[in-house]
Structure 1
Amino acid sequence: MSRTYKAIGINLKGAPLGESDRLLTVLTREHGLIRVVAPGARKHHSKLGGRSGLFVVNELLISKGRSLDKITQAETLESYPGLSQDLAKLTASQYLAELVLCQALSDQPQEELFCLFNEHLCRLESLSSSSAGNGLASFGVLAHLAQAVFHLLALAGVAPQVQTCCVTQRPLTPDLNDDNWRIGFNMAAGGTIDLAELEHLGEGARVPSRTKNAGFQTAKGTQGNTSKPILRDRHSSTVTAMAPSTGQAIAAAAANYHVVNHQQKSSVPSLQLNAVELSLLQHLAQPELLQLDAFSLELEQNAFNTSAYQAAWLKVERILRQCAQYHFDRPIRSAALIDTCFLSVPTAP
């Protein structure tokens, strides 16, 4: 049996090991999540120094060890230097890396997760600097982060249901012309809920909870198995689960759920969303984010609108963050830095 194997992987986390080595946590397409030693990576002139950096994609030759495998060769295929030059982008990328670590499996191919994560890192890096000063750039980072989180939750099968009411299954159409329009949201129930049903939850009514089954649910609420939140594989000539060219929505939440009745967890509070917030959530399942440039002129002319849109995106991100922490049962440490990056943005009520 060969003592070496090849893999293409992206570095998610690194830590010092011994006098000059570095211990890397790498998401690979072929073998899933692995922990490998980069020998001598912390030496000044080490060839593995730059290749062991955060979010660097390498083609690796790895030798098996008794307890830890060791990198013997590495050739860089992709890197994202622009992420480290912008605090908001770097924080958003670390946030996504935490989610990937929550759902990545070891000893199993993880090509879909690998491609999806790389695609969203590329999108974040291509954004304008968040320090541009007009608020639009940081607004874009927040919006792209929210979509990336939604796509990762969809791939894991735990994205919230936002197209229909979780209880009645009636389609939801936000009225953007009505400032008083509201819809409920409850993570234990699986997503959005009509306000009338939300009041019943407050009275201790039993609510349906989703359990994952085969298949996917499209953004329009129809069943299908071809729309996955995966875009182009940037390191091969193939396309993996590409969204249809017609612009049809990609998988919004893991589909086909059994309905199981149980008491709502008291630790999961219900929320209310306005029309803008629900509309943004419903757009997140699309392969591409809605064109933020369409709002640029209006946002630049009206500072209130800028703050309102930013506040809506911030609330959307916090809802998705709570969903991730609820389903993965662990906190997202980078989320505190996201709050710091957007501290000046008012929180939507």
Structure 2
Amino acid sequence: MAKLYKATGINLKTMPLGESDRLLTILTPEYGLIRVVASGARKPKSKLGGRSELFVVNQLLISQGRSLDRINQAETITSYTGLSQNLGKLAAGQYLAELVLYQALSEHPQTELFYLLNEHLERIEQLHHKTDRLWHTQLIAYLAHGIYHLLAIEGIAPQVHKCCATGNELEPNFNYSDWQIGFSMDAGGVIKIDDISVVQSDYQNLSNQNSSTKINTLLNANQLLLLQQLPQAKLQTLVQLTAYQDWVKVEKLLRKYTQYHLGYSIRSAELIDTYLQLSSIHP
């Protein structure tokens, strides 16, 4: 008789297997990432049909197999159906799920990662969809928040409060319209720039007095303020007051930073770009 075990899991990836089965990649707090077969899940009247969809959280009874384990029973605990009802929310959810798929370990408990992902998926799902710039600002802000927290749990979140070269605290300076700070992928965060008159085209050659670290991009005062919001457990009401383009720059910066440090391209990020482009054409 096959050995049975129980697990709670959220479906992060699904693909067809054979004529009617599905192969699921599931994040569980007990065992980390597992790959299991949902037998007959693609049949029209299968009990596993809806329970094997993306972003469904199930209580599972699984039987061990020689090559792949199989789901014997699945009882749904919750499902983020709101994600699939909006292209922007779905793209953001898949973006975070892709990061988790690269981060999570197999055969190791992943309790903190499991609950962190669920927390951010729930926040994105509960956003009230509107066809205006505020909605898009909130979506990108919540996505950036989730990305930062996933980087933090991996131990590679960028430094956003202190200069990476000097260790001194950095505060946004709104007294000068052209005030900027640098961001270095190599150093792992923000770096103070003494010459505030430097122009964007020169940032590739910038270096701090005490460091030869390359500056990859420049950030204005508001963009630094947004970055410094991200380590907090919840974003403040600042989300509703800030400029849309600043959040877009913050997300793209985090995207490049993630790809640089983890060594892979985030394919799901293209869905966010496509969604925002379509939304700008059809607001």
TM above 0.5, yes or no, is yes
Q: How much identity, in percent, do the aligned residues show?
A: 55
Q: CA contact under 8 A between 2:207 and 2:215: conserved in structure 1?
A: no
Determine if contact 1:128/1:137 at 8 Å carries over to the other structure: yes
Instruction: Work out which of the residue numbers 152, 155, 163 in structure 2 matches 1:154.
Output: 152
Q: In the alignment, is the contact (CA less than 8 A) between 2:137 and 2:239 conserved in 1? A: no
> Structure 1 CA distance, aligned partners of 2:277 and 2:204?
33
Query: 1:334 matched to which residue of 2?
Result: 268
Counterpart pick for 1:202 among 161, 182, 205: 205
Whether contact under 8 Å (2:259, 2:265) holds in the other structure is yes
Which string of whole-angstrom CA distances, capped at 9 and with x for unpartnered residues, describes residues 269-293 of structure 1?
6111000000000001110011157
Residue of structure 1 equivalent to 2:247: 313
Report what 1:247 is aligned to: none
Which digits, 9 at most, give the CA deviation of each residue in 1:126-160, with x for residues without a partner? 0011xx22211111111000000000000000110
Change in Cα spacing, 1:120 to 1:205, as seen in structure 2 (3 Å) is: closer
Q: Closer, same or farther in 2 for the Cα pair 1:203/1:120, shift >3 Å?
A: closer
* Alpha-carbon RMSD: 2.5
CA distance in 2, matches of 1:318, 1:53: 29
Shift of 1:340: 1.5
Structure 1 residue runs without a partner (length 5+): 209-262, 296-305
Divergent runs of 4+, >4 A = 196-201, 203-208
The number of aligned residues is: 275
Partner of 1:125: 125
| TM-aligned CA deviation for residue 5 of structure 1 | 0.6
Change (3 A) 1:189 1:74: same
SS at match of 2:166: coil
Rate the CA distance shift 1:63–1:49 in 2: closer, same or farther, 3 A: same
Query: Structure 1 residue 342: deviation in Å?
Result: 1.8
Instruction: Please point out which of 208, 217, 227 is paired with 1:281.
Output: 227
Amino acid in the other structure paired with 1:87 = L
Q: For each residue in 1:70-97, what CA deviation from the matched residue of structure 2 results, as whole angstroms up to 9, or x when unmatched?
A: 0000000010111011110000000000
Cα deviation for residue 341 of structure 1 reads 1.7
Residue matched to 1:300: none
User: What are the residue-to-residue correspondences of 1:1-349 with 2, within 5 Å?
Assistant: 3-129=3-129, 132-196=130-194, 202=205, 270-292=216-238, 295=241, 309-343=243-277
Cα distance, 1:323 vs. partner? 1.1
Task: Tell me the secondary structure at the aligned position of residue 12 of structure 1.
Answer: strand
Distance 2:78 2:274 in 1: 29
Distance 1:125 1:146, change over 3 A: same
Query: Which residue number in structure 2 is paired with residue 239 of structure 1?
Result: none
The answer to whether the Cα contact below 8 Å between 1:12 and 1:24 also exists between their aligned partners in 2 is yes
| 121 and 25 in structure 1: CA distance in 2 versus 1, 3 angstrom threshold | same
> Displacement, 1:120?
0.3
Q: Scaled by the length of structure 1, what TM-score is found? A: 0.74
Structure 1 counterpart SS, 2:71: strand
Q: Does structure 2 conserve the Cα–Cα contact (< 8 Å) formed by 1:89 and 1:124?
A: yes
Instruction: Note the alpha carbon deviations across 1:199-220, whole angstroms, 9 max, x for none.
Output: 9993789988xxxxxxxxxxxx
- In structure 2, do the counterparts of structure 1 residues 344 and 311 end up closer, same or farther at CA, with 3 Å as the change threshold? farther
Cα gap change, 1:201/1:314 in structure 2, threshold over 3 Å: closer, same or farther? closer
Secondary structure of the equivalent of 1:70?
strand
Cα deviations by residue, 1:19-60 (Å, 9 ceiling, x for unpaired): 100000000010000100000000000000000000000000
Gaps of 5+ in 2: none
Distance in structure 1 (CA, Å) of the matches to 2:225 and 2:189:
14
Q: AA paired with 1:60?
A: L
> In the superposition, relative to structure 1, how do residues 345 and 88 fare at CA in structure 2: closer, same or farther (>3 Å)?
closer
TM-score (ref. length: structure 2): 0.91
